[in-house]
């Protein structure tokens, strides 16, 4: 499988302790330039709100500078949390990006809030009532703009005809970590990216996607990418040490504490004081080790999903260690 397996990057724009969110944003552009040189297929940036641990609330803003700094990579969102937004505004933003960087822009759409309830409330334009749970209708409207599929007498049809960037449009993916997202992606005939790093027991959802796939809608065959969390280093012990940083950060996040990514030495001390949390990650899969070890784990995970592509998210305290992790992985898979 490895000869056909595509590798891509999901960048959550982590903020390291002792650094700033501005530096984290610049690191994202630096890492994208490296991924472009190394032969990764696509580079997606995440949407999270509330700051602290990560610094990427606006994928549509970050995608432009990354696409401008690279030449070959597909660049996109992993993803835009559609319930926060007007479908038209999302369509306009990604229409502009597609017009500027034709054939290179992806629009990954998600349903999750990407933040805590209070920040979700603050993001809403109308705070007098809870936001509507109308994700399928939002998604249908969004696709209608790009595909100009509104009936001729539909009041929104003229907006689709005047969308900026026409005739260019992004490649739209549905993102998820649940059975429901798999059903929607299949019924809509969209490519599907599953967040295994959130739900490591999701391989069955890949079959749900395939069994519900409608080839008459958009693409001829099911397409699945699986997103995993991985850290690669020259030695297994070094990789394990590097992994303690994000494990501590995510353990505290589960407890309601938002911190910047700590240095490994601090994280080690934390786990010495909290041995019950030593495994970290809340049961999530983590691929940590030497290049050969992580390659084997990636191939095993891809095979479980029947995925044609693996999207790798790596968080370390040291940006150079994060760069090195992607370098070692690219070399192991023969990307460069």
Q: Which domains does the chain have, with CATH numbers?
A: 6-227+308-333 (3.20.20.30)
pTM over 0.75: yes
Exposed/middle/buried for residue 98 (C-beta within 10 Å: 0-12, 13-18, 19+): buried
Q: Which of 3-17, 66-80, 124-138, 149-163 has the largest mean confidence?
A: 66-80
For the chain, what is the mean pLDDT? Answer: 93
Nearest to 54 by CA among 23, 91, 95: 23
According to DSSP, the β-strands at 287-289 and 309-313 are unpaired
Phi/psi of residue 311, each to 5°?
Answer: -105, 120
Distance in angstroms (rounded) separating the CA atoms of residues 273 and 311: 33
Distance in angstroms (rounded) separating the CA atoms of residues 228 and 182: 17
Q: What's the mean pLDDT in 114-134?
A: 78
CA distances for 24 relative to 29, 51, 92, angstroms:
9, 11, 27
Residue 224 host element (H or E): strand 224-232
Does the bond joining 19 to the residue before it have cis omega, within 30 degrees of 0?
A: no
Token code pair at residue 73? 């990579």
pLDDT tens per residue across span 261-305: 999 999 999 999 988 665 544 455 779 999 999 999 999 999 999
Token code pair at residue 143? 């696709």
pLDDT tens per residue across span 24-49: 999 999 999 999 999 999 999 999 99
pLDDT tens per residue across span 18-28: 999 999 999 99
pLDDT class of 2 with cuts at 50, 70, 90: very low
pLDDT tens per residue across span 55-96: 999 999 999 999 999 999 999 999 999 999 999 999 999 999
Expressed in angstroms, the distance from the first to the final Cα of the chain is 18
Per-residue model confidence (pLDDT) at position 333: 97
CA distances for 34 relative to 10, 39, 326, 328, angstroms:
13, 9, 9, 12
Residue 67 CB: number of other CB atoms within 10 A? Answer: 20
Per-residue model confidence (pLDDT) at position 119: 79
């Amino acid at each position: 499988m490895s000869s056909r397996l595509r590798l891509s990057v999901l960048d959550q724009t982590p903020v390291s302790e002792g650094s700033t969110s501005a530096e984290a944003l610049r690191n994202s552009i630096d890492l994208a330039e490296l991924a472009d040189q190394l032969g990764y297929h696509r580079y997606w940036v995440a949407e999270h709100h509330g700051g602290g641990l990560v610094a990427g609330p606006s994928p549509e803003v970050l995608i432009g500078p990354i696409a401008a700094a690279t030449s070959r990579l597909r660049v996109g969102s992993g993803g835009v949390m559609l319930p926060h937004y007007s479908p038209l505004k999302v369509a306009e933003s990604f229409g502009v990006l597609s017009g500027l960087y034709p054939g290179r822009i992806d629009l990954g759409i998600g349903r999750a809030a990407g933040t805590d309830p209070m920040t979700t409330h603050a993001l809403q334009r109308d705070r007098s009532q809870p936001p509507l749970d109308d994700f399928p209708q939002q998604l249908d409207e969004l696709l209608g703009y790009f595909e100009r599929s509104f009936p001729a007498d539909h009041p929104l049809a003229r907006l689709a005809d005047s969308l900026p960037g026409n005739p260019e449009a992004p490649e739209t993916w549905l993102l998820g970590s649940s059975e429901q997202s798999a059903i929607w992606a299949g019924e809509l005939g969209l490519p599907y990216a599953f967040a295994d790093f959130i739900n490591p027991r999701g391989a069955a959802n890949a079959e749900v996607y395939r069994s519900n796939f409608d080839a008459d809608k958009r693409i001829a065959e099911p397409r699945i990418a699986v997103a995993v969390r991985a850290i690669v280093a020259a030695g297994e012990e070094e990789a394990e040490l590097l992994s303690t940083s994000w494990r501590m950060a995510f353990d505290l996040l589960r407890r309601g504490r938002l911190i910047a990514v700590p240095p490994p030495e601090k994280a080690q001390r934390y786990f010495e004081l909290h041995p019950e949390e030593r495994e970290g990650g809340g049961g999530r899969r983590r691929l940590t080790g030497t290049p050969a070890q992580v390659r084997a784990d990636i191939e095993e995970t891809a095979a479980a999903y029947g995925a044609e592509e693996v999207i790798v998210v790596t968080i370390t305290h040291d940006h150079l260690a994060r760069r090195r992790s992607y370098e070692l992985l690219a070399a192991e898979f023969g990307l460069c």
